[in-house]
Structure 1
């Protein structure tokens, strides 16, 4: 079978705001219903459009970092956008456009996956082999699960839309929120089915194997879902991780610097990544945060590493990951946390290394093995296997040129839990993981309320006033206005 390569071109302009992709509840047109999915090439095109959501949506380019890293103790907002300041200060309102944009981006991506799932069985084309039909089905189920995973951990219970929308009747489109448990159950059901339909690899081309859903990706995401749900299933997570590690894709840890130097994507640690190639297929996100010496801009950049994050690297003596994650540079603007005068040297987010005029080939990893190794350590610790957990943590530390954990760092289950959480912070900063980690470890409220952030303009500490209600984002006001069946999260 000819290898199917997912390369989707996106138009990138020199603006830092992309067109927002709102939920379209219009019915499928007569032409689409009758003609659009009759051939192998048409269903392949529909699947390509489903993957395209990773490149076209603000959520996967940028907003996931804001809601995970800027909302947490890892980064300050930087820049000059009031809505991003509200994310930093934990004063996010239901009318914040990034809340609505992210919700809409994710549901639009789900709609595309549902279309593929609904239409694949009706395609009668001799060019569509059973093997490829199964793969397409598995890919679509994986993609739907991936987007629902991001919805449920961000908003809690959300409407479960499991079929392509073909009606405008209010009773059909105004769905109530499913429970958190129901959403996770659907995610795991989709992923378990996907894992049976997907191959470990599609051949020898890394740019294909890392661009498309595989059995390894399905099992890795299932492990993350098992860990993140309200009642974690640690043994089940370990079983899924075992499947990842047995995969013929041969996922391994690589040199940490290679992960983020821009020259070693589609590597052996990568499980799934967006195939930004630069130019017409470029990523505009790096231009938003890289320093003037790299971006060529003079305006104030977003996503500024926090004192607390930099101190965490220094406390561990973690030079390798700090240098891969943070770059210091003198700037011609005032930074309220690092220097209240022009010319101060401040840190910049540096896991992206090239801006390329809003068209970078740099990318976020959607799934990578280093994350899974630390999740394995977490699950082992929670099941009382502290020494085995330490082995996994030491694998991560040693590749960062750090020594094995001391006896004090693994003294007991609770100490080890905090040690793993800190290790994940240093390993995964700027990779849209931190908020989830704090929530999963039940320390989001205490971490944010204990965080000491001094505003140099006033000399006063920032009061984050973190509460349990702020763990989830508010349901977008536009969705509440459109759908009377929805109920708002506690504010």
Structure 2
């Protein structure tokens, strides 16, 4: 029987009173949940608080890349943090503090969306039009779906949180896990509601249209969800991908280099992006990646591109995407994979290009059209429409100067799927997609088991010891200790 959580679940399923540091609504709205959010200004402020989770959470500043790219064959951990090495080496333990922080922040973001969904229908302020109320509800449904998607793809079976309450009743704050299928059903339900309520655009201002949930963003997430869930629905995924393309928002592919040069954010390819603005509204993520000549510091950086990734670009002759994603520089530290001596030239993750002293304005794309076109190709291949799938992949390849897929690439469904997976890697490296892609294509165990990366300190390949038990992250130990119902 499906069981939903009726609790705020802030800061890892704790009660509201013990998690005020994470439920940061008051500084944003100058209101508290006890006020009731009775007027238009208050409910708009609550919605702003829900969006703010994208900027305040460590997950969207950097850990999404760690969960997806460092954990996969795309990047090494670099740096000197044992907890981050666990993600690289596939030895993540429940006591890793990053797990609890991200789990808590993501559930906190869901709690904020739930509060909006509870209070918005009750606002009787004449300033709040029914059209705007519907939009607010649609935005909150989307946000709840997005964060549940992050949870289910990272941890597998997780509790669903579908209501806001400040109850401290143990029966409500100690939920059991829902199955992945149940979580995806909830995500799809929320996205169907969001699509019915959201506009294609909020007007002509791109800084608004790319910052807030739109029908296009909801269709994009639905396409992902229908493909990522354990039992795939290729037809539904295709329908939602086509809806993105048909949107009145007019999404289109742009010059690939412009996507990541720091000067073309809120562009026509962008569907939704985290609006880091720099300064007090900046992100520290780029400082963790960029070389000394850009970052201005000399300590060993994290998220080092792997030999395997660089080899994949070179094997395809893909100079455009390689140069957009990677920059080499000589360094003063020792890197055990790229040069076991000081003065070696090593690669740096380069899709974020401006460090700006821990307060960068570099954006994180939540969705962009290039990703959706490849999802469309995947759905077409799943429906055995291979020539049509190839046409979609070719759109992505041609814009970076690569030739069309060959007839051999389209020889069978499995071969076509392999070509799509390879293309997604080259297109989306360092964008927090790789691990999910490997899981969805059923290739994560094989890829990580056969990965050969030589530790130059020993001259031996590193053993990732990958098996099915490592596909999903362990639930944080703090959460297991607090809630005995989470097995």
Using structure 1 for the length normalisation, give the TM-score. 0.94
| Matches of 1:25 and 1:65, distance apart in 2 | 29
Structure 1 residues 452, 77: CA separation in 2 closer, same or farther (over 3 Å shift)?
Answer: same
CA offsets 1:31-89 (integer angstroms, 9 cap, x no match): 94552401100000000000000000001111110010000000000000000101000
Aligned to 1:61, the other structure's residue is in SS state helix
Residue 5 of structure 1 corresponds to which residue in structure 2? Answer: none
Displacement of 1:23: 5.2
Give the one of 8, 17, 26 matched to 2:16: 26
Residue 426 of structure 2 corresponds to which residue in structure 1? Answer: 426
Q: Does 1:416 find its partner at 2:416? A: yes
CA offsets 1:336-392 (integer angstroms, 9 cap, x no match): 000000000000000001000001110110111110000100110111100000000
| Matches of 1:63 and 1:170, distance apart in 2 | 31
Contact 1:227 1:440 in 2 (8 A): yes
Residue 246 of structure 1 corresponds to which residue in structure 2? Answer: 246
Contact 2:304 2:347 in 1 (8 A): yes
Aligned to 2:77, the other structure's residue is in SS state strand
**Which sections of structure 2, spanning at least 5 residues, go unmatched?**
1-9, 21-30
Displacement of 1:172: 1.1
Residue 195 of structure 2 corresponds to which residue in structure 1? Answer: 195
Contact 1:27 1:165 in 2 (8 A): no
Displacement of 1:463: 0.4
| Matches of 1:33 and 1:102, distance apart in 2 | 23
Residue 363 of structure 1 corresponds to which residue in structure 2? Answer: 363
Residue 476 of structure 1 corresponds to which residue in structure 2? Answer: 476
| Matches of 1:75 and 1:209, distance apart in 2 | 32
Aligned to 2:37, the other structure's residue is in SS state coil
Residue 212 of structure 1 corresponds to which residue in structure 2? Answer: 212
Aligned to 2:16, the other structure's residue is in SS state coil
Residue 10 of structure 1 corresponds to which residue in structure 2? Answer: none
Displacement of 1:179: 1.0
| Matches of 2:122 and 2:386, distance apart in 1 | 51
| Matches of 1:342 and 1:409, distance apart in 2 | 42
Residue 141 of structure 2 corresponds to which residue in structure 1? Answer: 141
Displacement of 1:323: 0.2
| Matches of 1:410 and 1:297, distance apart in 2 | 47
| Matches of 1:460 and 1:33, distance apart in 2 | 57
Contact 2:36 2:119 in 1 (8 A): no
Contact 1:74 1:305 in 2 (8 A): yes
| Matches of 2:431 and 2:11, distance apart in 1 | 23
Structure 1 residues 245, 280: CA separation in 2 closer, same or farther (over 3 Å shift)?
Answer: same
Contact 2:115 2:164 in 1 (8 A): yes
Q: Does 1:303 find its partner at 2:303? A: yes
Residue 256 of structure 2 corresponds to which residue in structure 1? Answer: 256
Aligned to 2:117, the other structure's residue is in SS state helix
Q: Does 1:132 find its partner at 2:127? A: no
Give the 5 Å matches for 1:26-105: 26=16, 32=32, 34-105=34-105
- Paired residues, number: 467
Residue 179 of structure 2 corresponds to which residue in structure 1? Answer: 179
Give the 5 Å matches for 1:454-469: 454-469=454-469
Displacement of 1:294: 0.2
Aligned to 1:52, the other structure's residue is in SS state helix
Residue 152 of structure 1 corresponds to which residue in structure 2? Answer: 152
Displacement of 1:335: 0.2
Structure 1 residues 359, 23: CA separation in 2 closer, same or farther (over 3 Å shift)?
Answer: farther
Displacement of 1:160: 1.1
Structure 1 residues 23, 263: CA separation in 2 closer, same or farther (over 3 Å shift)?
Answer: farther
Give the 5 Å matches for 1:399-410: 399-410=399-410
Displacement of 1:444: 0.4
Contact 1:141 1:190 in 2 (8 A): yes
Aligned to 1:245, the other structure's residue is in SS state helix
Of the structure 1 ranges 345-354 and 156-165, higher mean CA displacement relative to structure 2 is found in 156-165
| Matches of 1:81 and 1:306, distance apart in 2 | 18
| Matches of 2:300 and 2:175, distance apart in 1 | 42
Contact 2:13 2:479 in 1 (8 A): no
| Matches of 1:230 and 1:34, distance apart in 2 | 40
Aligned to 1:55, the other structure's residue is in SS state helix
Give the 5 Å matches for 1:376-391: 376-391=376-391
Residue 162 of structure 2 corresponds to which residue in structure 1? Answer: 162
Residue 283 of structure 1 corresponds to which residue in structure 2? Answer: 283
CA RMSD of superposed structures (Å): 1.4
Structure 1 residues 444, 330: CA separation in 2 closer, same or farther (over 3 Å shift)?
Answer: same
Contact 2:269 2:368 in 1 (8 A): yes
CA offsets 1:396-455 (integer angstroms, 9 cap, x no match): 000011011112222211111111000000000000000000000111001001000100
| Matches of 2:151 and 2:343, distance apart in 1 | 41
| Matches of 1:344 and 1:260, distance apart in 2 | 26
